[in-house]
Amino acid sequence: MAHSSSSLPLVVLSSLAAVFFAGDAFAHAELVSETPAAKSMAMPAPTELKLKFSEGLELKFTGVKVVGPKQAAIETGPATLDPNDNTMLIVPLKSTLPDGKYTVDWHALSTDGHKTKGSYWFESMH
């Protein structure tokens, strides 16, 4: 009986560790914040988009598509990761955005191999 009661703390500790570390195994790169912010009015019009994720990204498999007024595709430059933060995706816009509503569709692959996608919108005004 003494043997089983002394192993109880080890069993409890092992169970807690399994639950704690399981969360990391199932984590995904979720969008944490964006600039311009979702559902906001950007004044002046942005020259780039910044998307902050909860995990590091694989740039080769991560990107955005921007659609503007009248469903017009908006040209973007090559996306980059912030050199000091691999969770921050930076997407330059090739031209000044005219006034209107813009939708940003994004897809991301985290460094641990999980894929996520989503979208948000903002408005631009000069």
DSSP string covering 69-117, please? GGGPEEPB---EEETTEEEEEEEEBSSPPPSEEEEEEEEEEBTTS-EEE
Whole-angstrom CA distances from 69 to 46, 95, 108, 122 are: 15, 14, 25, 11
pLDDT tens digits along 29-85: 999 999 999 999 999 999 999 999 999 999 999 999 999 999 999 999 999 999 999
pLDDT at 15 over 90: no
Domains of the chain: 29-124 (2.60.40.1220)
Reduced DSSP (H G I as helix, E B as strand, rest coil) percent helix, strand, coil of the chain, to 5: 25, 45, 35
For the entire predicted model, the pTM comes to: 0.79
The single-letter code of the amino acid at 75 is: E
Read off the tokens for 66: 């921007």
